[in-house]
Amino acid sequence: MSFPSDLEIARSVTPRPILDVARDLGIADGELELYGPTKAKVTLEAIRRLEAERPRGKYVLVTAITPTPLGEGKSTTSVGLAQGLNHIGRRAAVNIRQPSLGPVFGIKGGAAGGGYSQVIPMEDFNLHLTGDVHAIGAAHNLAGAFLDNSLHHKNPLGIDPRGILWPRVLDISDRALRHVVIGLGGREDGVPRETEFVITVASEVMAVLALATDLQDLRTRLGRIVLATTMDGAPVTAEHLGVAGAMTVLLRDALKPNLLQTLEGGPAFVHAGPFANIAHGNNSIIADRLALVTNDIVCTEAGFGADMGAEKFFDIKCRASGLAPDAAVVVATVRALKMHGGVGRIVAGKPLDPALLEENVEAVRRGADNLAKQIENVRIFGVPAVVAINSFPTDTQGEVEAIREVSLAAGARDAVVATHFVDGGKGAAALAEAVWAACESGEAAFRLLYPDDLPLADKIDAIATRVYGADGVDYLPAAAKSLRQFEELGYGHLPICMAKTQYSLSHDAALKGRPTGFRVPIREVRLSAGAGFITPLCGETRTMPGLPSRPGGEKIDIDADGNVVGLF
């Protein structure tokens, strides 16, 4: 008998009314905006009330080793850990990002967790949910329309057509839109110019939504987004164009976090979804604040490996929120560590390489150099780490023991096998105990990697050398010029949001394990003044993904009864 699909498992559970989930958290019926019986938005007034009345719970980051194209089950582990914490008697919530339609219809599929550790309703989670991503796209593209409209109407702000920084966005992977020409057709059709599309979750507006602390902060951040420069190099902001207020109106409801539930009926807050290889890769500050005052402990997920989403969680999100984590979980799988150890290849959409299913303790030990570095990356920030060994049936005791040995030697408090995919919360009970013990240990002494007043180039160097393990950083002339310009304009105090491949600790996806002897090339540096960070682009990072030769969307359809099929 085959294991049921994620969609089949999700449909086998009758969800609790979301009003009951909210009442368990102390959220009043009048503080919810219902989107049907199983999902709702929580008002900002409720968050303010609860923060004034209650202490905060424990704050746990879930991160991972450098992933394969299939991922390492980080979302599944986040959900399973929250279920496990509830299983051992702790009031726990999971906070995860809303997925982009690009991966859903491309390679990765859904992002609601998997097996018996999912957020439900699964179809709603992966497909539109409450419309937040569409609101972000509308707000972003409204700013683009205002910008081109100003150019068309005699350019009163003196915008340099070659200094326009604002692309358009679309939440579908579409490589044909990476480089486009707009304004063709004649005088009434706008000013012709080259531009680009990026995927909506890579929009600065998405990053702003995730980092905003309230509605007025959202308005302020949107207003200071730099859309272009003038002929003399001065920034042109959304405030200058008079569009920031309208953008805020479009995002007013999107700022409210979404409440869903796990398969076992525990709370799940789903809000924001920036990519960690391009943006900061974390869910919203507002959702974390809400969860922390309604639970004993909160598991919040960061994108990709600890060198990516976790570093940005610590240096960008925690810097903005003032919240300090109590512990971190580093997710690892035997098969991924074998790949980092030089055995087998993992290609999305193709059967798993048989070499990855055979016992190979030495390959696991070699690949576990990557795990050791990611544990060190968490420990750099003064946060205790627990390794979650996301279990597969082909794992052997020798391979698991090798991971435990490497983990403890690298400074992890514990390394625990978790079977939450198959067993739900009870399969993560041992992991939950280890994580709760880490939070209670008092070992956390959270610290940022660099201070605000460090020069931008020194901040970049700190990330490259201390987190990635590089020998240094090399800048193309245009990138070096941008750094000088941003500091001259008064942006030198901002943190860094590196954009690089997620498939290596380095800038080169081909360098697996724990590479050494490399330097990080910076080809371009971008300003995200509204979000409040500087983005260096390393190597050939793309901001608009493409679809694979056989997109996952080919399998998604509607059956005779109107049910979604083929969504995994």
pLDDT (tens digit, 9 = 90+) per residue, 119-128?
A: 999 889 989 9
Residue 557: the pLDDT is 84
List Cα–Cα distances, 25 to 20, 127, 179, in angstroms.
9, 26, 47
Reported as a single tens digit per residue, the pLDDT across 192-230 is 999 999 999 999 999 999 999 999 999 999 999 999 999
* 525/473 Cα distance (integer angstroms): 13
Q: Does the pLDDT at position 2 exceed 80?
A: no
Q: For 463-474, how does the pLDDT look when each residue is reduced to its tens digit (9 = 90+)?
A: 999 999 999 999
- Asked if residue 153 and residue 109 are part of one domain, the reply reads no
Residues 396 and 267 in one domain: yes
Q: Is residue 559 part of a domain?
A: no
Instruction: Average the pLDDT over 14-31 and give the result.
Output: 97
- Are both 297 and 228 inside the same structural domain? no
Whether the pLDDT of residue 420 is over 90: the answer is yes
Q: Judge whether residue 519 has pLDDT over 70.
A: yes
Residue 244 lies in a domain: yes
The sheet carrying 472-475 orders its strands as 472-475, 519-528, 533-538
Residues 404 and 461 occupy one common structural domain: no
Residue 51 in any domain: the answer is yes
- Give CA–CA dist 398/169, Å, rounded: 48
pLDDT class of 1 with cuts at 50, 70, 90: low
In the predicted structure, residue 349 carries a pLDDT above the cut 70: no
Q: Is 279 left (phi over 0), alpha (psi -120 to 50) or beta?
A: beta
Going by C-alpha positions, the residue among 405, 396, 536 that lies closest to residue 458 is: 536
Residues 167 and 98 in one domain: no
- Model pLDDT, residue 350: 74
Q: What is the CATH number of the domain that holds 379?
A: 3.40.50.300
Token pair for 172? 């579908």
pLDDT of residue 531: 96
**Domain end position, chosen among 224, 251, 278:** 251
Residues 223 and 290 occupy one common structural domain:
no
Contact 297, 90 (CB under 8 A): yes
**More confident of the two residues 237 and 542:** 237
The residue that leads in pLDDT, 356 or 247, is 247
* Angle at the Cα of 188 from the Cα atoms of 183 and 191, rounded to 5 degrees: 35
pTM (2 d.p.)? 0.94
Phi, psi for 157 (deg, rounded to 5): -90, -5
Q: What is the mean pLDDT of residues 239-260?
A: 98
CA-based nearest residue to 39, from 132, 135, 101: 132
Confidence at residue 102, expressed as pLDDT on a 0 to 100 scale: 82
At residue 109, the pLDDT reads: 61
Asked whether 525 and 486 are in contact (CB, 8 A), the reply is yes
Number of domains in the chain: 3
Residue 551 within any structural domain of the chain: no
Residue 348 confidence class, pLDDT cut points 50, 70, 90: low
Residue 560 falls inside a structural domain: no
Work out the average pLDDT over 17-45: 98
Lowest-confidence region among 78-87, 94-103, 238-247, 509-518: 94-103
Three-state SS for 300?
strand
Specify whether 112 is located in the same domain as 172: no
Give dist(CA 116, CA 110) in Å, integer. Answer: 14
Q: Select from 411, 440, 469 the last residue of a domain.
A: 440
Same domain, 269 and 392: yes
The yes-or-no verdict on residue 112 having pLDDT over 90 is no
Question: Distance between CA 478 and CA 12 in Å, rounded?
Answer: 55
- pLDDT reading at 363 higher than 70: yes
- Please name the residue ranges forming H helices in 355-476: 361-379, 397-409, 420-423, 429-440, 456-462
* pLDDT above 70: residue 108: no
Q: Is residue 350 part of a domain?
A: yes
Q: What is the mean pLDDT of residues 330-337?
A: 95
Task: For 129-165, write each residue's pLDDT tens digit.
Answer: 999 999 999 999 999 999 999 999 999 999 999 999 9
User: Which 3-state string (H, E, C) describes 31-92?
Assistant: HEEECCCCCEEECHHHHHHHHHHCCCCEEEEEEECCCCCCCCCHHHHHHHHHHHHHHCCCCE
Instruction: Report d(CA 402, CA 337) in Å as an integer.
Output: 11
In which domain, by residue range, is 225 found? 134-251
Cα–Cα distance for residue pair 103/16, rounded to 1 Å: 28
Q: Which CATH number does the domain housing residue 179 bear? A: 3.30.1510.10
Residue at which a domain ends, from 251, 286, 316: 251
Question: Does residue 296 register a pLDDT over 90?
Answer: yes
Residue in the structure block whose two tokens are 């726990």: 92
Q: Per-residue confidence at 454, pLDDT binned at 50, 70, 90? A: very high
> What does the block give as tokens for 291?
């969860």
Q: What number of CA atoms fall less than 13 Å from residue 148's CA on the CB side?
A: 21
Residues near 28 by beta carbon (within 8 Å), at least 6 away in sequence: 22, 46
Looking at the fold, whether 187 and 117 belong to one and the same domain comes out as no
Q: What is the pLDDT of residue 476?
A: 96
β-sheet bridge partners, residue 252: none
Q: What is the mean pLDDT of residues 450-465?
A: 98
Mean pLDDT, range 364-392, rounded to an integer: 97
Domain presence at residue 412: yes
**Tokens coding 366:** 């070699």
pLDDT at 3: 84
For 183: left if phi > 0, alpha if psi spans -120 to 50, otherwise beta; the answer is left
* Dist CA 355 CA 334 (whole Å): 12
- Percentage of the chain with pLDDT > 90? 82
Q: What span, in angstroms and rounded, lies between the C-alpha atoms of 171 and 102?
A: 6
* The pairing of beta strand 168-170 with beta strand 197-199: parallel
CB 532 within 8 A of CB 210: no
| CB 63 within 8 Å of CB 330 | yes
Which residues 6+ apart lie within 8 Å of 56 measured at CB?
292, 293, 323
Residue 445 lies inside a defined structural domain of this protein = no
